Amino acid sequence: MSLTPTRLFPSRLSQTSLITSQLPVVIKRMRKSNNRCALHIPGCSRRLLTEVALLLMLRRPPVCPYIIEMYEWFDRPLIFSLVLEFPQPCVTLQEFNRDSRGLTEPIARGFMQQSITVLSTRGLLQTPILRRASALGITLYMMVNMRPPFSSVREILQACIYIWKADISMACCDLIYQCLDCSPVKQLTFTQILQHKWFESPE
């Protein structure tokens, strides 16, 4: 089974194929009015749409088989169009999580290790969007709890009390708490995340 990245930006998807190779692809269209975030990446003279910038960095060799490839992208007057690999069969992480009624900790642990390794080897941990451990903390929380840790900006600012499923281990809760700590000084580095006792737990 292949997992596609969860869609983080408002978009429309349509299936087609590359004319020359007959490869199945997905064309993702995103309105510029809804996607104003941009990143500057090494080797590029201008800032790019965040999703485009991240996918360009991820497709640099050596190619990782776990990453959806972006074949091409187009900057049009009102929209961005991304031509993406369409592996079959596949589901998004969100769909896989929903269909599984929440992931077990061993499966979530595998995804976390895979994610940090890929992001680290591609230099993505130094980009502004991924520099803080909170992004991984939110992802892990959603994988094991089937819901986001926050439902509003107020909850984030008030340091809300998280709701946990009964079978989640203390080590997993501790890792998430440290990743989501509002103090940058107290937040774990990505190396510290991988060294956390949760990753040493038996399968």
Q: Tens digits of per-residue pLDDT, 138-191? A: 899 999 998 888 776 566 656 566 788 889 999 999 999 888 887 777 778 778
Class of domain 2-85: alpha beta
pLDDT of residue 202: 62
Residues of the chain with CATH 1.10.510.10: 100-200
Rounded alpha-carbon distances, angstroms, from residue 189 to 40, 53, 67, 102 = 22, 23, 23, 26
% the chain with pLDDT above 90: 16
Report the CATH architecture of 100-200.
Answer: Orthogonal Bundle (1.10)
Residue 2 has pLDDT above 50, yes or no: no
Element (H, E) at 71: strand 70-75
pLDDT of residue 153: 59
pTM of the model: 0.72
- Cα distance between residue 99 and residue 80, in whole Å: 31
Is the separation of the CB atoms in 101 and 167 below 8 Å? no
- Cα distance between residue 95 and residue 201, in whole Å: 26
Residues of the chain with CATH 3.30.200.20: 2-85
Structure tokens at 109: 């642990």
